[in-house]
Structure 1
Amino acid sequence: MFVKLSALLLPLVLLAHAEAQNLNFIYNDGFSGRSGLNLSLDGIAEITPEGLLKLTNHTKQRGGHAFYPNPVTFKNSENDSAFSFSTNFIFAIQPEYTTSSGDGMAFVIAPTRGLPGALSNQYLSLFNPSNNGKFTNHIFAVELDTIQTLEFSDINDNHVGIDINGLRSVTAAPAGYFDGQYFKNLTLISGKEMRVWVEYNGTKKQIEVTMAPIGVVTKVTKPATPLLSLKYDLSPILNKTMYVGFSSSNGPFLTSHYVVGWSFRMNGQAQDLIASNLPKLPSIAGKKTSMLFTFGVPLISVSLVLLVVSGVLYVIRRKRKFAEVLEDWELEYGPQRFKYKELYIATKGFREKELLGTGGFGKVYRGLLPSSEVEIAVKRVSLESRQGMKEFVAEIVSIGRLRHRNLVQLLGYCRRKEELLLVYDYMPNGSLDKYLFDQPEMTLNWSQRFKVIKGVASGLLYLHEEWEQVVIHRDVKASNVLLDGEFNGRLGDFGLARLYDHGTDPQTTHIVGTLGYLAPEHTRTGRATTSTDVFAFGAFLLEVACGKRPIKTQGPEHVILVDWVFSCWNRSDILEARDQSFGTDFVAEELELVLKLGLLCSHSEPAARPSMRQVVQYLAGDVALPEVSLLGLSSSGLTDRHREGFDDYAMSYQSSLGKGSSHSSYVAESSLLSGSR
Structure 2
Amino acid sequence: MASAQTLPFFLWVVILIAPLLTTPSKTQSPAPGEIFSRGFTAANLSFGGGAEVLQNGILRLTNDSLRALGHAFYSSPVRFKNPSGGRAASFSTAFAFSIVPQYPSLGGHGFTFAISRSRELPGALPSQYLGLMNSSDLGNFSNHIFAVEFDTVQDYDFADINDNHIGVDINSLASNKSVTAGIFAENNSTLKEIYLKSGAVIQAWVDYDSLKNQLDVRISKSSVKPTRAVLSFNVDLSEVFEDYMFVGFTASTGLLASCHYIMGWSFSINGQAKSLDLSSLPSLPSSDGNGHKGLILGVSFSASAAMILLASVAFYIVRKTWNSDVIEPWELEVGPHRFPYEELRKATHGFRDKELLGFGGFGRVYRGILPNSNTQVAVKRILNGSKQGLQDFVSEVSTIGRLRHRNLVQLLGWCRRRSDLLLVYDFMPNGSLDKYLFDEPKSILSWEQRFKIIKGVASGLLYLHEEWEQAVIHRDIKAANVLLDAELNGRLGDFGLAKLYEHGANPTTTRVVGTLGYLAPELTKTGKPTTASDVFAFGALLLEVVCGRRPVEQKALPEELILVDWVWEKWTLGSILEVVDPRLGGQFNEVEAVMLLKLGLICSNSSPQIRPSTRQVVRYLEGELVLPEKALPPDGNYDIKKGSGGGTGLDDCTHSYRSSSYYDKVTMWSSTMDEGDHDLEAGLTSPASGSSISDCR
With structure 1 as the length reference, what TM-score do the two structures score?
0.63
Partner of 2:179: 170
Which among 104, 110, 121 is matched to residue 104 of structure 1?
110
Which among 123, 145, 161 is matched to residue 166 of structure 2?
161
Partner of 2:597: 595
Amino acid at match of 1:515: L
Measured after TM superposition, the shift of residue 537 of structure 1 is 0.7
Moved more, 85-94 or 516-525: 85-94
Where 1:414 maps in the other structure, the secondary structure is: strand
Where 2:377 maps in the other structure, the secondary structure is: strand
Q: Confirm or deny that 1:482 pairs with 2:491.
A: no
Amino acid at match of 1:226: K
Where 1:508 maps in the other structure, the secondary structure is: coil
Deviation by residue 1:397-446 (Cα, 9 ceiling, x = unmatched): 11111111111111233334444322222222222222222222223222
Q: Counterparts of 1:482 and 1:561 in 2: how far apart (Å)?
A: 22
Q: Counterparts of 1:571 and 1:367 in 2: how far apart (Å)?
A: 51
Deviation by residue 1:523-561 (Cα, 9 ceiling, x = unmatched): 233221111111111111111122221111135411122
Measured after TM superposition, the shift of residue 580 of structure 1 is 2.5
Which among 225, 234, 241 is matched to residue 239 of structure 2?
241
Where 1:343 maps in the other structure, the secondary structure is: helix
Q: Counterparts of 1:638 and 1:249 in 2: how far apart (Å)?
A: 57
Deviation by residue 1:186-227 (Cα, 9 ceiling, x = unmatched): 98798x999854114566967243589xxxxxxxxxx75237
Q: Is the 8 A contact 1:476 1:517 kept in 2?
A: yes
Q: Counterparts of 2:72 and 2:563 in 1: how far apart (Å)?
A: 49
Q: Confirm or deny that 1:198 pairs with 2:206.
A: yes
Measured after TM superposition, the shift of residue 582 of structure 1 is 2.6
Partner of 1:291: none
Q: Percent identity?
A: 49
Measured after TM superposition, the shift of residue 267 of structure 1 is 5.0
Which among 557, 573, 576 is matched to residue 575 of structure 2?
573
Where 1:331 maps in the other structure, the secondary structure is: helix
Q: Counterparts of 1:436 and 1:473 in 2: how far apart (Å)?
A: 22
With structure 2 as the length reference, what TM-score do the two structures score?
0.62
Q: Counterparts of 1:451 and 1:646 in 2: how far apart (Å)?
A: 39
Q: Is the 8 A contact 1:517 1:550 kept in 2?
A: yes
Which among 139, 142, 158 is matched to residue 148 of structure 2?
142
Q: Is the 8 A contact 1:55 1:256 kept in 2?
A: yes
Aligned residues: 548
For residues 630-641 of structure 1, the aligned pairs below 5 Å read 633-636=632-635
Q: Counterparts of 1:643 and 1:342 in 2: how far apart (Å)?
A: 63
Amino acid at match of 1:594: L
Partner of 1:669: none
Partner of 2:693: none
Partner of 1:426: 427
Where 1:520 maps in the other structure, the secondary structure is: coil
RMSD (CA atoms): 5.9
Q: Is the 8 A contact 1:85 1:266 kept in 2?
A: yes
Q: Is the 8 A contact 1:53 1:259 kept in 2?
A: yes
Where 2:334 maps in the other structure, the secondary structure is: helix
Q: Counterparts of 2:310 and 2:217 in 1: how far apart (Å)?
A: 57
For residues 35-184 of structure 1, the aligned pairs below 5 Å read 60=67, 85-87=91-93, 102-107=108-113, 142-147=148-153, 154=162, 161-162=166-167, 169-173=178-182
Partner of 2:371: 370
5+ residue gaps, structure 2 = 1-28, 54-58, 82-86, 117-123, 135-144, 184-191, 277-290, 295-308, 648-695
Where 1:363 maps in the other structure, the secondary structure is: strand
Partner of 1:464: 465
Amino acid at match of 1:442: S
Q: Counterparts of 2:69 and 2:435 in 1: how far apart (Å)?
A: 27
Measured after TM superposition, the shift of residue 270 of structure 1 is 6.8
Amino acid at match of 2:456: G
Partner of 1:251: 254
Q: Is the 8 A contact 2:475 2:514 kept in 1?
A: yes
Measured after TM superposition, the shift of residue 374 of structure 1 is 3.2
Partner of 2:660: none
Measured after TM superposition, the shift of residue 505 of structure 1 is 1.0
Amino acid at match of 1:521: E
Q: Is the 8 A contact 2:67 2:373 kept in 1?
A: no
Partner of 2:452: 451
Deviation by residue 1:484-540 (Cα, 9 ceiling, x = unmatched): 222222111111111111111111111111111111111233221111111111111
Q: Is the alpha carbon distance of 1:574 and 1:463 closer, same or farther for their aligned partners in structure 2, counting shifts above 3 Å?
A: same
